């Protein structure tokens, strides 16, 4: 019997995969038996004219066209039907031709499902692939590479979560992303590929994205999440109504703003959906310059999060208190995370815009491989299970150059190895290389879907 290793160099186009090749290459009757069984099965599925029908050119053409149509097997009685026939068969008998798609929820069963199915298929291509730059499209490439390396999204798209052949949306971004997942994981070629369908769908969906000019990767991420959410059947446009679709649960969190009147103590709370956290790095840099954070202390991600969730004083005239007869009052405002998403994007705001100048803050911001988000939520209780709030770094997007003439690259985790994706160039790097990067966007995955915070 031939081994998988001994036939690994054989043409995949000839056998489909190396595992099938081990069955067909040995001497004997195995290959002939397989061929005979295949022909027998094919002939059994082919529609045959009734005895009363006379052969004609028309009936021959109908039979030829029917041969090209896919056949479906009933899971209950094993009857073979075409697409039209299976619908009629299902209505008459109540039988099923496919298993119902699982709904996404935060449960231990979902976590097991992701762990069991997020790996690449045994016969599929392994490794990583770059993305060709189609004309200043590095902003798209870094975001798409991040999505392609996320285990939750791999489970969704490789498990037919969005099926383009059933989609009726014109220029659907969800279909284009599904195509990118298929190309990335199933192509026979090892070199980079072009996400042309996604680029075209993005251009048609947004006039501001159309054309070969510089775009912001953070803004493109927000655009892509919104379009993926809109591509899901049954999604809610109004986020306040509580959408239960896959993309809403994966990308969207909830932010709570609390304003407390300094005079009467009246508290006004509002909640808004969030797809990312925009953290002010300038505050950390200014503290360091003033010596308040220590002369040698780098700005940190935890410091940015603390500043983001720290109380902020509001002067009279900014806030009118309903408890004080809607009169202007001094108040204290505080932001906290009410609900965390499964994929958490954090933008380190490196750009400062004033009336006179726009500038970019250069330099490294210290960030960890793992982070506990509990202290920044509305539930910072000491007895809460901290493991429910642990996030692990998925990717780090870096912007090189100036505001109007720059380039994006991204570091992504591939199993236990880190890779640097510079368009179609892929380079292995160490964890130390990643942590030294001048990150602009950081993407973190929730460590466990079981018992994830609501």
- Position 255 scores a pLDDT of 95
122 versus 108: which is more confidently predicted?
Answer: 108
What is the distance between the alpha carbons of residues 343 and 107, in angstroms, rounded to a whole number? 16
Indicate whether 401 pLDDT > 60.
yes
Rounded average pLDDT over 331-360: 84
Residue 382 tokens read as 């000491």
Sorted by sequence, the CB contacts under 8 Å of residue 84 that are 6+ apart come out as none
Mean pLDDT of the chain: 79
pLDDT at residue 250 in the model: 92
Query: What residues are paired with 397 via a beta bridge?
Result: 410, 441
For residues 343 and 96, the model is more confident at 343
Tell me the CA distances in angstroms from 70 to 42, 76, 84, 198, 205, one per residue in order: 11, 19, 11, 27, 32
Residue pair 129/148 in contact by the 8 Å Cβ criterion: no
Query: Where does the pLDDT of residue 3 fall: very low under 50, low under 70, confident under 90, or very high at 90 and above?
Result: very low
DSSP secondary structure of 41-98 = HHHHHS----TTPPP-HHHHHHHHHHHTS--EE-TTT--EE-HHHHHHHHHHH---SS
Catalytic annotation present for 407: yes
Average pLDDT over residues 262-271: 91
| C-alpha to C-alpha distance for 202 and 140, rounded to whole angstroms | 10
Mean pLDDT, residues 383-389 taken together: 81
Taking 60 as the threshold, does the pLDDT of residue 263 lie above it?
A: yes
pLDDT given at position 237: 75
Whether residue 401 contacts residue 407, with contact meaning beta carbons closer than 8 Å, is answered with yes
CA distance 324 to 129: 61
- pLDDT tens digits along 219-261: 999 999 999 988 887 777 766 677 878 898 899 999 999 999 9
Would you state the pLDDT for residue 7? 42
Confidence of residue 214 (pLDDT cuts 50, 70, 90): confident
Tokens of 346: 């954090």
The pLDDT of residue 26 = 61
Tokens describing residue 3: 């081994």
> Would you call 376 helix, strand, or coil by DSSP?
helix
Q: What is the pLDDT of residue 6?
A: 43
Highest mean pLDDT: which range of 2-11, 379-388, 409-418: 409-418
pLDDT attached to residue 169: 78
List pLDDT tens digits, range 53-112. Answer: 445 555 555 444 455 566 777 777 767 777 778 888 888 888 876 665 555 555 556 666
* Angle of CA points 80, 163, 78, to nearest 5°: 15
Per-domain residue ranges of the chain? 71-101, 127-231
Residue 212 has pLDDT above 80, yes or no: yes
The answer to whether 346 and 442 have CB atoms below 8 angstroms apart is: yes
User: Higher model confidence: residue 407 or residue 212?
Assistant: 407
b/e code 76-112 from CB counts within 10 Å (16+ = b): eeeebbbeebbeebbeeeebebeeeeeebebeeebbe
Q: Is the pLDDT of residue 426 over 60?
A: yes
**pLDDT for residue 170:** 78
Please state, in angstroms and rounded to a whole number, the distance separating the CA atoms of residues 252 and 345.
Answer: 10
Question: What pLDDT score was predicted for residue 227?
Answer: 93
Of the listed ranges 21-25, 222-226, 405-409, the least confidently predicted one is 21-25
- Check: CB of residue 232 under 8 Å from CB of residue 245: yes
pLDDT interval class at 2 (50, 70, 90): very low
Residue 1 predicted with pLDDT over 80: no
- Given a cut of 50, whether residue 385 has pLDDT beyond it is yes
What is the model's pLDDT at position 332? 93
> Which residue among 81, 138, 175, 321 is the active-site one?
138
- The confidence score (pLDDT) of residue 280 equals 87
Out of 95, 235, 239, 407, which one is annotated catalytic?
407
For 139, the enclosing helix (H) or strand (E) is: helix 138-148
- Tell me the mean pLDDT in the region 30-48: 63
What's the distance, Cα to Cα, between the start and end of the chain in Å? 53
Residue 116 reports pLDDT greater than 80: no
**Pairing status of strand 351-353 against strand 358-360:** antiparallel
Tell me how far apart the alpha carbons of residues 274 and 280 are, in angstroms, rounded to a whole number: 16
């Amino acid at each position: 019997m031939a081994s998988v290793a001994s036939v690994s160099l054989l043409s995949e186009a000839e056998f489909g995969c190396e595992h099938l090749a081990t069955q067909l290459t040995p001497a004997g009757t195995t290959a002939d038996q397989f061929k005979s069984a295949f022909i027998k099965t094919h002939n059994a599925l082919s529609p045959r004219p009734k005895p009363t029908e006379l052969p004609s050119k028309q009936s021959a053409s109908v039979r030829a066209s029917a041969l090209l149509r896919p056949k479906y097997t009933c899971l209950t009685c094993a009857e073979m039907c075409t697409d039209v026939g299976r619908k009629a068969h299902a209505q008459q008998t109540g039988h099923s031709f496919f298993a119902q798609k699982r709904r996404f929820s935060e449960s231990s069963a979902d976590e097991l499902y992701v762990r069991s199915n997020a790996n690449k298929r045994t016969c599929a291509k392994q490794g990583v692939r770059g993305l060709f730059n189609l004309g200043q499209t590095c902003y798209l490439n870094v975001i798409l590479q991040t999505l392609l390396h996320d285990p939750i999204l791999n489970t969704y798209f490789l498990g037919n979560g969005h099926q383009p052949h059933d989609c009726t949306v014109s220029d659907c971004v969800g279909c284009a992303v599904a195509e990118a997942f298929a190309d990335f994981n199933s192509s026979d070629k090892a070199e980079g590929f072009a996400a042309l369908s996604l680029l075209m769908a993005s251009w048609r969906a947004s006039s501001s994205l159309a054309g070969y000019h510089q775009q912001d990767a953070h803004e493109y991420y927000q655009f892509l999440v919104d379009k993926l959410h809109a591509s899901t059947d049954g999604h809610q446009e109004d986020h306040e109504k509580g959408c239960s679709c896959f993309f809403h649960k994966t990308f969207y969190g909830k932010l709570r703003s609390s304003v407390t009147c300094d005079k009467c103590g009246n508290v006004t709370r509002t909640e808004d959906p969030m797809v990312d956290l925009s953290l002010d790095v300038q505050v950390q840099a200014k503290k360091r310059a003033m010596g308040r954070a220590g002369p040698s202390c780098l700005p940190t991600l935890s410091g940015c999060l603390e500043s983001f969730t720290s109380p902020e004083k509001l002067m009279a005239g900014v806030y009118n208190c309903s408890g004080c007869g809607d009169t202007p009052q001094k108040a204290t405002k505080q932001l906290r995370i009410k609900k965390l998403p499964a994929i958490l994007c954090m933008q380190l705001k490196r750009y400062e815009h004033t009336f006179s100048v726009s500038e970019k803050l250069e330099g490294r911001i210290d960030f960890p491989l793992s982070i506990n988000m509990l202290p920044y939520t509305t539930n910072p209780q000491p007895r809460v299970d901290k493991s429910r709030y642990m996030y692990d770094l998925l990717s780090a997007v870096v912007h090189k150059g100036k505001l109007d003439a720059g380039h994006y690259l991204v570091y992504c985790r591939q199993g236990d190895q880190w890779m640097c994706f510079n368009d179609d160039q892929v380079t292995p790097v160490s964890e130390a290389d990643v942590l030294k990067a001048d990150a602009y966007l950081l993407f973190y995955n929730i460590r466990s879907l079981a018992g994830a915070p609501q």
